[in-house]
Amino acid sequence: MNAMFKHARYVLQENPLTLFAFGLFFFLVLLAAFGQVLAPYDPLASDTAVALQAPSLAHWFGTDQLGRDILSRVMTATRLDFAIALSAVALSFIIGSVLGCGAGFFGGGFERAVGRTADTIMAFPLFVLAMGIVAALGNSVANIVLATAVINLPFYIRVARTEASVLRNAEFIEAARLAGGGNARILALHIYPNILPPMMVQISLNMGWAILNAAGLSFIGLGVRPPTPEWGIMVAEGASYIITGEWWIALFPGAALMLAVFCFNLLGDGLRDLIDPRRRT
Amino acid sequence: MTEAVPLLSVDNLALEFRTRGGLVRALENVSFHVGTGEIVGIVGESGSGKSVLSHALLRILDSAGRVSAGRAVFNGLDLLAAREAEMRAIRGRKIAMIFQNPRAALNPIRKIGQQLEDVLMQHTHAPRHDIKKRAIECLEQVRIPDALRRYHAYPFELSGGQCQRVMIALAIAAEPALLIADEPTTGLDVTTQAVVMDLIRDLVRRNHMSAILITHDLALASESCDRIVVMHAGHVVETAPTRALFATPRHPYTARLIGATPHDCTDVRTLASIPGSLPDLRAASLPLCRFSARCEQYTSACDQPLPLAVFNQHHSVACHTPL
Amino acid sequence: MARKPVWGTIFRRLLGALPSLAGVVVVTFILTRALPGDPAAFFAGAAATPEAVEEVRKQLGLDKNLAQQFLRYLSELAHGDLGQSLTTGQPVSTELVNRLPASLELTLFGLLLAAVVAIPLGVLAATRRDSWIDHVSRLITTAGVSLPVFFTGLLLIYIFYFKLGWAPSPMGRLDPYASAPATVTGFFIIDSLLARDLGLLTASLKQLLLPAITMAIFVMAPLARMTRAAMLTALSSDYTRTTRAMGLSRYTVVYRYALRNALLPVVTTLGMVFSFMLGANVLVEKVFSWPGIGAYAIEALVASDYAPVQGFVLTMAILYVLLNLVIDVLYSIIDPRMAAQ
Ligand SMILES: Nc1ncnc2c1ncn2[C@@H]1O[C@H](COP(=O)(O)OP(=O)(O)O)[C@@H](O)[C@H]1O
Ligand SMILES: [Mg+2]
C-alpha cells in the first residue's frame, strides 16, 4: 500500500498534468452537483430584450438568440452531459466486464460468441453505428445512452477477456480451485476483483470518448431536444451564428465540452501510469 | 605488456545507469587491454556487465547510461572522450561488433543484402555498381551457401546460425581492426556454435584483427582466447593468459568458475556451482569487494580498498586473500 | 526467395473479411426492423392513410416472416436496392453513390494532412524523448483528441472565414458560381487536375482545406502517439543498436531502419483511425454543409426518413470493412513476414 502511495506520488510529480486533471475533475463534479443551484439565471428563461448579447458583467458568457444566459445554461448542462456519459460507461462496463470475464474464464463456444459480438460491433465505424441505433430505436436520451454503451462495449469485453484468460491459469486460482471453490465463486471472488484495475483505466479513457459521442449525437439533433441545456445541442444552436460573428453562443458550451473530455483523457493517462507503469507511452 | 602500445587499453572505466530504483553502478574500476592480433576473452556470469562494457566502448549505451570515469584509448584516441563524428568513423570501420540473438539484431523487414550494402556504402567508397558484388563476396566469406540467392532473403527466412553469419559478414565488411563478439553463439545449437566460433577465429586470424570475445562460458573462451579477463558484478577480478588462468587461478571467483566449467575430463557430477548471486548494484553502499558476500575466504580485511595484485606482468588479480 | 504472389494474400484477406461483412448485414437488417412501433407506418410517413400503410407493408414485405424478410433484404442488397427516400422520392442508392466521393475526398484528404503532421511529430517526440518538444506534442495531441470535431470546425470557420476572411464561406465543395469538373473519380481535386483547370483546383482546395484540417486535428493525436510509441520501441530495438554499432549515419538509423519498422504498427492502427474519421466525417459534413453521405443521413434523420439513414449506415460499414481490407493488404505487402505466411 505504501509502495503504491509512493508510486502515486512519483507519477504525480513526474506528470503535474495529472494533478491538474484531478483538480479539474473535482471542479466539474462540483458543477454537475451544484451547477443548477449556483447558476445566476434560469437556464430556460428567455428574454428577447437581451438576445444575442456579447459577454458582459451581467452575462459573463453572453446570451443566446432567445436571450437566455449562456453561463447558466453551460453550468446546468454539466449534470446532463455527465449523467449520459456516466450511465453509458457504467452500462458497458457492467455488461462488458461480465461477458468478457466469462469469455476469458470459460473459453470455448461462449468465448467465440462473445468475441464474434465484439468483432461485429467493431466492424462498424462506431459513431455511425450509434447513429443507426438511435435512429432505429427512437430519438430519446435513453437510446443515446444505450447506443453509446453498445459502441463502448467491445473495449471492455476485450480488456476483461484478456485479463481473465491470463488469470485463469494463475497459481492462486489453482489454489482456490483446490480449496473447493466452484466456477461461480472463483469468478466472483478471485477473477472479477482482479480485472478491476485495468478496467478502471479503460473507464477513464472511455469517459471522455463517451461524452464526445453523446454530444456528437445531440449535435446532429438526436436525443436531447431543445430547449434542454446540453453542451452538444448548445453548440449546434450557436453554429449558425458563427458566420455572423456571434461566437460566444457556440464557444462556451464547446469549451466546456472540450475541457471535460480533456480532463478525462489526462486522468486516463495518469491512471494508466499509476496502475501499469510498464505500458507507459 | 612488453611489446608496443596495445591496440585498446581501458583504464578505470566506471559506468552508471540512472533508473527509477536508483543509481545502478554497473561498472567500476574496469581496466584491461587488447594487443594487436590478440583474442581476449571477457568472462563472467550473466549480469556482470560484459555487454554494458562493450556498449560503452562503442558509445552505444542506452540514454540512461553514463560513463562517469575512465579512459579507453584505441589507436591513440580516447573513445570515451571522442567527438560523435570521430566515433562514427570508428564504429563498424575500426571496431565492429557482433551481438547475441542475431535474428533480433538484424532488421526484420530489410533484405540482408541491403543491410550489408548499407554498411558497405557507409564505410567503403566503392562505386554503386560494385556494392552488390562486394555484398555477395562478404556473404561468401562467411560461408553462406548460395550467397547470390540469400542476398534477397529476409532474416526470418534464415536459420539462427545463418543470421549470425550475416551479422559476422556485417561486422567484417569494413575490415575493422577490432572485433567485439558479445555472446556470439548463445542460443545456437551446439554444432552450429562450434562452426560459428571456428568461422570467427578463422576470420580474425586471416585478416589480422584483434578480438574481444564476451561470454559467460569459460570453456568456450578457453578454446579461442589468448588471454582472459574475468568479471564479476561490474568489477574485473582477474586477468591472465588462458593457460595461467586455468593452471593457477588466483581469485576465488575464478576458481569457482573453473570448478563450474566442464573441462577436459571433469565429471559432470563433480561440477561445482557458484553459491549466492550477484549483489544488487543499486544498493546505496556496495561492499568494496563485490564478491565478499559469496566468498569463503572472506575476512574483515576484505573491507579495505581493493588492491590490484600483480603476480607477474601478465597476471593480475583484485583480491585481499588471493589463492 | 520465392514468395507467394500478392493476389493470394489479397484473396485470403478478402475471405477473412467475410464474417465482418456478414455481421454488418445482419446488424443493419435488425436495425431496419427495430423501428419503434410499426415500421410500415414509419416508412409510409406521418400523413399516410391506413390503406397507404398497408400498401407500404406489402411493398416492404413486412407481412412476411422474419426469415423471408431477411432473404428479401439480401436480394435487394444484391441488386443495390436500398429503398427510396421519402422526402426526395429518389432511390437511396443513387444518392449515396453520387455523394460518396465527396465524403471520401474529405476523409482521405484529412487523413493525409493528419499523417503529414502527426508522423513527423511522433518521430520528433520519440527521438527527443522528454524534451520540451515531446511534452508539447503530448499536450497538443491530448488537447486535439479532446476537441469535439464539430466545435473545432466552428472555431476554424470563425477565425479563418469570419475574422480573417482567408477561407471561402463554409458551404459545400465549391462556391455556387463555379461548376464542378467533369466527373471521373468524383474527387474534385483529382478531376480538376485531370481537366487541367488550375482555377477550379484552387477553388476546390480552398473549400476542402478547412473541413479537412478539422478532421486532421481530431485524428492527429492517435497517429502521433502511436508513431511515438512505435518509434521508441524501434529505436531501442536490437537491430537499431546494430546499425549504430556499425556506424551508419543517424539519418539511416532513424529513417531507413527505425521509422520503417515503426510504421508497421502505425499502419495497423489506421483501422481505428478510420473508425474515428468516418464518424467525425458526419459531424464535419454538417458543420461545413459538405454534400457527402453524412450530411444526407442527417437531413433524413431530422425528417424521420429512415431508408436513407439505414442505407448510410450500411454504406459506411461496408466502406469501413473495405478500408480495413486495404490496410490488411497494405500491411502484408510492406511486411515481408506477413506476405510469406
Ligand atoms: N538500461 C539499463 N538500465 C539499468 N541498468 C542496466 C541497463 N542495462 C544494463 N543494466 C545493468 O547493468 C548490469 C550489467 O548488465 P549486462 O552488461 O547486460 O550483463 P552481461 O552482459 O554481463 O550479462 C546489470 O546488472 C543490469 O541490471
Ligand atoms: Mg550480455
Domain count along chain C:
1
- Show the cell assigned to C207: 473549400
| Ligand 1 centre distance from Cα of residue B274 (Å) | 20
- CB contacts, 8 Å: A215 with chain C: 148
Query: B235: closest CA among B307, B186, B322, B315?
Result: B307
Residue B167 lies in a domain: no
pLDDT score of C52:
82
| Pocket of ligand 1 contains residue B122 by CB under 6 Å | no
CA distance C251 to chain B (A): 12
Q: Which helix (H) or strand (E) holds B211?
A: strand B210-215
Which range marks the domain in which residue B44 is found? 8-94+176-318
Residue B33 lies in a domain: yes
Residue B207 lies in a domain: yes
| Pocket of ligand 1 contains residue B271 by CB under 6 Å | no
**CA pair distance B48, B42, nearest whole angstrom:** 10
Picking from A17, A123, A212, the nearest residue to C320 by CB comes out as: A123
B82-93 core/surface letters (b: 16 or more CB in 10 A; e: else): beeeebbebbbb
- Show the cell assigned to A86: 456516466
Expressed in angstroms, the distance from the first to the final Cα of chain A is: 25
| Pocket of ligand 1 contains residue B44 by CB under 6 Å | yes
Task: Give backbone dihedrals phi and psi of B79, rounded to 5 degrees, phi first.
Answer: -60, -30
pLDDT score of B257:
87
pLDDT score of B151:
93
Burial class of B64 by CB neighbour count within 10 A (0 to 12, 13 to 18, 19+): exposed
- Does residue C267 contact residue C334 with C-beta atoms inside 8 Å? yes
- Distances, alpha carbon C15 to alpha carbons C86, C325, C326, in Å: 36, 10, 13
Picking from B55, B109, B119, the nearest residue to C261 by CB comes out as: B109
- CB contacts, 8 Å: C21 with chain A: 123
Burial class of C267 by CB neighbour count within 10 A (0 to 12, 13 to 18, 19+): middle
Under an 8 A CB cutoff, do A137 and C36 touch? yes
- Distances, alpha carbon B312 to alpha carbons A25, A254, B221, B236, B238, in Å: 72, 81, 22, 17, 12
| Ligand 2 centre distance from Cα of residue B51 (Å) | 4
Under an 8 A CB cutoff, do A128 and C316 touch? yes
**CA pair distance C271, A23, nearest whole angstrom:** 34
Residue B131 lies in a domain: no
Taking CA–CA distances from A261, the nearest residue in chain C reads C146
- Distances, alpha carbon C102 to alpha carbons A94, B193, C187, C305, in Å: 40, 62, 7, 22
- Show the cell assigned to C162: 469570419
- Which amino acid is present at B203? L
Which range marks the domain in which residue C191 is found? 92-340
Question: In this structure, which ligand is nearest to the CA of B55?
Answer: 1
| C129 shares contact with chain B (CB less than 8 Å) | yes
- Does residue A210 contact residue A89 with C-beta atoms inside 8 Å? yes
Splitting chain B (323 residues) into consecutive groups of 10 residues, what average pLDDT does each group show? 76 90 89 93 92 94 90 94 91 93 92 93 85 91 90 92 93 92 89 90 91 92 93 92 91 87 56 72 79 81 75 83 79
Strand partners, B229: B42, B239
C260: Cβ contacts below 8 Å, ≥ 6 apart? B109, B110
| Pocket of ligand 1 contains residue B52 by CB under 6 Å | yes
Q: Is the dihedral of CA A258, A261, A263, A269 positive or negative?
A: negative
A227: Cβ contacts below 8 Å, ≥ 6 apart? A44, A66, A68
| Ligand 1 centre distance from Cα of residue B218 (Å) | 20
The 8-class DSSP code of residue C169 comes to: P
- Which of A129, A263, A280 to mutate to test binding with chain C, by most C CBs within 10 Å of its CB? A129
Whether a cis peptide bond, with omega within 30° of 0, leads into C50 is no
Under an 8 A CB cutoff, do C275 and A125 touch? yes
**CA pair distance B254, B231, nearest whole angstrom:** 9
Taking CA–CA distances from B117, the nearest residue in chain C reads C248
Q: Which helix (H) or strand (E) holds C176?
A: none
- CB contacts, 8 Å: B107 with chain C: 239, 242-243, 257, 261
Picking from B62, B89, B105, the nearest residue to C242 by CB comes out as: B105
**CA pair distance B101, C237, nearest whole angstrom:** 12
Side-by-side strand order, sheet with B95-98? B95-98, B178-182, B210-215, B39-43, B227-232, B235-241, B315-317, B309-312
- Going by their DSSP bridges, the two strands B39-43 and B227-232 should be labelled as parallel
0.95 cut: is pTM over it? no
Picking from A17, A220, A250, the nearest residue to C301 by CB comes out as: A220
- Show the cell assigned to A244: 455572423
pLDDT < 50 regions, chain C = 1-2
Under an 8 A CB cutoff, do C313 and A124 touch? yes
Under an 8 A CB cutoff, do A254 and C301 touch? no
| Pocket of ligand 1 contains residue B51 by CB under 6 Å | yes
| Pocket of ligand 1 contains residue B46 by CB under 6 Å | yes
Percentage helix, strand, coil for chain B under 3-state DSSP, each rounded to 5: 35, 25, 40
Number of residues assigned to chain C: 341
Domains and CATH numbers, chain A: 18-35+69-279 (1.10.3720.10)
Query: C303: closest CA among A225, A224, A142, A221?
Result: A221
Q: How many Cβ atoms from other residues are within 10 Å of residue B189's Cβ?
A: 11
| B159 shares contact with chain C (CB less than 8 Å) | no
Residue reference for cell 532513424: C254
User: By alpha-carbon position, which residue is closest to atom 12 of ligand 1?
Assistant: B26
All chains having 3 or more CB pairs closer than 8 angstroms to chain B: C
**CA pair distance A79, A88, nearest whole angstrom:** 14
**CA pair distance A93, A210, nearest whole angstrom:** 12
Residue B68 lies in a domain: yes
User: By alpha-carbon position, which residue is closest to atom 19 of ligand 1?
Assistant: B47
Helix axes C149-156, C198-235, angle to 10 degrees: 130
Domain count along chain B:
1
- Distances, alpha carbon B45 to alpha carbons B50, B98, B218, B232, in Å: 9, 19, 10, 7
B265: Cβ contacts below 8 Å, ≥ 6 apart? none
What does the DSSP assignment read for chain A?
Answer: -HHHHHHHHHHHHH-HHHHHHHHHHHHHHHHHHHHHHH-SS-TT---GGGTTPPP-SSSTT-B-TT--BHHHHHHHHHHHHHHHHHHHHHHHHHHHHHHHHHHHHH-HHHHHHHHHHHHHHHTS-HHHHHHHHHHHH-SSHHHHHHHHHHHHHHHHHHHHHHHHHHHTT-HHHHHHHHTT--HHHHIIIIIHHHHHHHHHHHHHHHHHHHHHHHHHHHHTT-SS-TTS--HHHHHHHHHHHHTTT-THHHHHHHHHHHHHHHHHHHHHHHHHHHH-GGG--
Under an 8 A CB cutoff, do C1 and B149 touch? yes
Return the SS3 of B140.
Answer: helix
Query: B5: closest CA among B43, B32, B36, B45?
Result: B36
- Which of C28, C31, C142 to mutate to test binding with chain A, by most A CBs within 10 Å of its CB? C142
- CB contacts, 8 Å: C225 with chain A: 281
User: By alpha-carbon position, which residue is closest to atom 7 of ligand 1?
Assistant: B17
Burial class of A171 by CB neighbour count within 10 A (0 to 12, 13 to 18, 19+): exposed
Domain of residue C234, CATH code? 1.10.3720.10
All chains having 3 or more CB pairs closer than 8 angstroms to chain C: A, B
Q: How many Cβ atoms from other residues are within 10 Å of residue A116's Cβ?
A: 12
Residue B232 lies in a domain: yes
Picking from C243, C247, C336, the nearest residue to B154 by CB comes out as: C336
ipTM rounded to 2 decimals: 0.89
Question: In this structure, which ligand is nearest to the CA of B26?
Answer: 1
Domain of residue B209, CATH code? 3.40.50.300
CA distance C118 to chain B (A): 23
C163: Cβ contacts below 8 Å, ≥ 6 apart? none
Return the SS3 of B38.
Answer: coil
**CA pair distance C284, C291, nearest whole angstrom:** 11
Query: B251: closest CA among B313, B307, B182, B183?
Result: B307
Residue C76 lies in a domain: no
Query: C307: closest CA among C45, C25, C85?
Result: C85
- Going by their DSSP bridges, the two strands B8-19 and B22-34 should be labelled as antiparallel
User: By alpha-carbon position, which residue is closest to atom 5 of ligand 1?
Assistant: B17
**CA pair distance B298, C260, nearest whole angstrom:** 54
Residue B208 lies in a domain: yes
Residue C122 lies in a domain: yes
Splitting chain A (281 residues) into consecutive groups of 10 residues, what average pLDDT does each group show? 68 73 89 86 82 82 87 91 93 94 89 92 93 88 94 93 86 78 81 84 85 92 88 91 88 93 86 62 39
- Does residue B299 contact residue B319 with C-beta atoms inside 8 Å? no
Helix axes C92-127, C306-334, angle to 10 degrees: 40
Residue B243 lies in a domain: yes
| Ligand 1 centre distance from Cα of residue B44 (Å) | 13
| Ligand 1 centre distance from Cα of residue B17 (Å) | 9
